[in-house]
Structure formats: structure tokens, C-alpha cells
Homo-oligomer: A and B are copies of this chain.
Amino acid sequence: MTQRVRVQCFTVTSNGIGAGEDQDHERPFGHVDPKDLMAWRFATGTWMNHSDAGTRGIDDYIERDYARGIGAEIMGRNKFGPIRGEWPDHEWQGWWGDEPPFHTPVFVLTHYPRPSFTLADTTFHFLQASPHDALEQAKTAAGDNDVRIGGGVTTVRAFLDAGLVDEMHVAVAPYEVSRGLQLWTHPDELTDRFHLERVPSSSGIVHHFFWRR
């Protein structure tokens, strides 16, 4: 099976915004509330650990696939944390507590070196590298599995612009916000390079599936 580079469950507003402004230690998405943006994920049976209260329709099928066959993640530094510039110390270990939800090696792109560390079954590595070189390392770490480009917006854009993404799922939420980091002006910008299938869900989300032409 070919090793693939995938974006999964990446959620933006109807005007393409995937994160707000003014990120700080309490607000990983800045002024955009993830409880609104990601409401579709939180309602699924899979997210709710298979509680009967969770939905089991199309949103859940997609949520189930988030981690499936993924052997490594690449993320931007701003997905890892709100600190900019030199690390003042190594106290910040991400937003996720003692058991991060990745369960694989994670490669954090940053201009500021820092030693790797492990929390439960996730090891964070810090790389100053081009998308291409970071991907080589992540592919090796992933073994036979795929590599997920985990975001944020800037990182997904960098990998798209470098032509390194094989497959991308973006969930478009049914509301706008006025400012923030924009993944696209319109998804059709990508159809020269990707097939695009749009699938509306009863949650109000429109799932956008892209795969290479």
C-alpha cells in the first residue's frame, strides 16, 4: 500500500477561516471558539467514546478515520502552543495534558530548537526544516502508515503549496467569522490539482474531500 500524506478533519468556517486571532494559553484557536467550530466532531459517537448519545452517521464515519492508518503527524508551532520566538524554558508541553490524542511521533515545525520529549505514547520532535525535509523524516517514522498534516492553517497551506498533500478532508462549518487565518478564499482554488467532492451532513457541515488528480 502506498504511503499517503493526508489532512483529516480540518475544520474551517464558511469563509475559510481555520483559527482566530489573539491565541493565548487558554485559547488555542484565539477568538474563535473551538466548541462552535468543531461542534460536529464533539457530537459524534467516536468522539464521545461510543456513548449512545453520539451520532453514528456520516460525521462519525469521518471522525473514525481521523487516526486510522496514521503513523506520524506534522504540525506547526502554533498548533503546539502560544509561545513565539525562543523557548523561555521547556515547561510548555502542548495543550493536551499527560495523554495527547496523537499516539504517534509528532514533528513540530519551528525555527527554535528544543529537545524531544514523550508523553504517554506520543513523542514530540522539534524540527527546523522545509516541508519536504520534514515530510521525509515523518514518513520514515510512520513506517508503513500514512502521515497526517495536522495543521494549523499555515502548515496545511505550506504543504499544499509545496505539492505534498495526497488527500485532504476539510469540514466547512455553516457560519462566518470576520477575521483569522484563512485556508482559502474558495475551495475551487484547489480543483486544478485535486478532485473535489462536497458532501453535506445533517449537522450543517459540508464535508470537502480532495484527492490528487
Residues of chain A whose beta carbon lies under 8 Å from any beta carbon of chain B: 1-2, 4, 45, 49-50, 52, 55-58, 61-62, 64-65, 68, 167, 195, 197, 199-202, 207, 209, 211-212
CB-based contact B65/A199 at 8 Å: no
Q: How many copies does the complex hold?
A: 2
The answer, among B57, B62, B201, for a CB contact under 8 Å with A211, is B57
A64-B68, A68-B64 in contact; A56/B211 too (CB < 8 A)?
Answer: yes
The answer, among B55, B56, B61, B200, for a CB contact under 8 Å with A61, is B61
A203 to chain B, nearest CB (A): 9
Contacts of A56 in B (CB 8 A): 167, 195, 209, 211
Contacts of A212 in B (CB 8 A): 52
A144 to chain B, nearest CB (A): 12
Contacts of A64 in B (CB 8 A): 65, 68
A-B contact pairs, 6 of them (CB 8 A): A57-B195, A57-B197, A57-B199, A57-B211, A61-B61, A65-B65
CB-based contact A1/B50 at 8 Å: yes
Cα distance, A68 to B46, chains bound together (Å):
13
